[in-house]
Structure 1
């Protein structure tokens, strides 16, 4: 092959090598570790075993943790979509100056350290925190709400930081939306709801889907926020993996939990993507 033909491969080579070294190789090693037996003396024993996966599949403790994790991820994803899609649409209608200010506000949570941000939420959500103090002052509640170390508290804190991913994904789709299509729909007698559901939403659906899947994956694997807001008793998969690796030194079981989490997130992402694409073709053919 000529030098020009080989140029794309040379350009892609460094990125491919980095992906193999930083992504593929650790996954392969984690996969191999998950089939190792655990021994109290050495931690990782010799030989191969499926006992770690059998324990995850048969122990109700892990069933509850996985169920709580994906319930939280689903709730956070839905709330982020409900907030992020209208927010992106409104951003598209602002003047350039106001839009720049709004983007700084929207992206603000991503500019702050996750630990600092989560500690800020502990101040807001605590029994003596700002939220409870405000609600009691307004006479809306008579005693503080329990928000720390709860499913609700974890979900609120995760929504705060993950909404920007939906906003950015939907905003990108809105940039491809031709305003003339809305004007044409209005000139043909379509109302605001019809224009929204038949003209705008179908065109921004890829952005909603990609943003929702990003949020779902990040919420499923989030560690710092569930560890601080949820505490030691309200565990999710990521905090359980941390405990298995660093507290109990059961590396094979921690690796197995990591692989199961990865497979489930990939399966959900691919399944939702396939389902939405099929429905999209059936409705708009």
Structure 2
């Protein structure tokens, strides 16, 4: 064995131990538990064959996709403005937009309740104006608001870094050929940001798929897969089903992350 190979193996040893102890062993155990129930390996198909699990799964997919699209739109608009304009308080504004990274999901849920709950600001305003309280904190709309709130920091930092690396000469060339601002944005800026969209969008989607704290805080009328897993595990002691649903959830998020990495890598190589 060559000296270089030995050095590489030594350097990889800590990573291998961590991956084995904190990923491979727990996931392997989950797979065995999921297939160890009365239904056997068929438990992994329960998410499609059982109406309650399928509805929860579909809600989670649609919610995560919607959160990803809205978060990318908000982060792109804000990132373009913040990256290309210098004004007093700019750094403070960027810091405030990334501040939600410090909040756990439960805190975000309480913030949604304070805004759109029964005693929230929105309800008080609508009650004063229309004599009827608008309360949606405990529904999918409230969960959507909370997920967008804590997803923006995860996306905007990546998008702003990508905007900074865009070549201004390409935009100037498009303008010199008669392209208007919206045409430049559509044909030059957004395609240049595609790798950042893929990478940050996949992370946003995966985070929304597995987020639990906010859903747990607002769980009155919410049916998403993390809450379903919690219910099966804690309330019904249905460990096999909870494990199987967990593996399905993890497999979907891993697939999205792997696909986005593959597409982003191809895009970057082609652009270079």
TM-score by shorter chain over 0.5: yes
State whether structure 2 residue 195 is matched by structure 1 residue 201.
no
Equivalence map 1:120-199=2 (5 Å):
120-137=111-128, 139=129, 141-199=130-188
Equivalence map 1:1-285=2 (5 Å):
1-37=1-37, 49-95=40-86, 98-137=89-128, 139=129, 141-231=130-220, 233-270=221-258
Q: Once the 2 structures are TM-superposed, how far is the Cα of residue 266 of structure 1 from its aligned partner? A: 3.1
Asked whether the 8 Å contact 1:245–1:251 carries over to 2, the reply is yes
Question: Deviation string for 1:221-250 (max 9, x for gaps)?
Answer: 11111111132x422110111122222111
> What is the TM-score with the length of structure 2 in the denominator?
0.88
Asked whether the 8 Å contact 1:151–1:230 carries over to 2, the reply is no
CA distance 1:260–1:5, change in 2 (3 Å): closer
Q: Once the 2 structures are TM-superposed, how far is the Cα of residue 110 of structure 1 from its aligned partner? A: 0.9
Question: Deviation string for 1:177-198 (max 9, x for gaps)?
Answer: 1222222322232211121112
Asked whether the 8 Å contact 2:61–2:209 carries over to 1, the reply is yes
Equivalents in 2 of 1:197, 1:9: separation in Å?
A: 47
RMSD (Å) for aligned C-alpha atoms: 2.6
Q: Once the 2 structures are TM-superposed, how far is the Cα of residue 4 of structure 1 from its aligned partner? A: 4.0
Question: Deviation string for 1:131-170 (max 9, x for gaps)?
Answer: 1212344x3x441123032110110111111111111121
Any unmatched runs of 5+ in structure 1?
39-47
CA distance 1:152–1:181, change in 2 (3 Å): same
CA distance 1:19–1:99, change in 2 (3 Å): farther
1:42 aligned residue: none
Equivalents in 1 of 2:50, 2:104: separation in Å?
A: 35
Most deviating of 219-228 and 178-187: 178-187
> What is the TM-score with the length of structure 1 in the denominator?
0.85
Asked whether the 8 Å contact 1:227–1:235 carries over to 2, the reply is no
Equivalents in 1 of 2:228, 2:152: separation in Å?
A: 25
Q: Once the 2 structures are TM-superposed, how far is the Cα of residue 51 of structure 1 from its aligned partner? A: 4.0
Equivalents in 2 of 1:79, 1:167: separation in Å?
A: 12
- Matched position secondary structure for 2:84: coil
Equivalents in 1 of 2:86, 2:29: separation in Å?
A: 51
Equivalents in 1 of 2:91, 2:24: separation in Å?
A: 38
Most deviating of 53-62 and 219-228: 53-62
Q: Once the 2 structures are TM-superposed, how far is the Cα of residue 103 of structure 1 from its aligned partner? A: 2.0
Equivalents in 2 of 1:4, 1:56: separation in Å?
A: 48
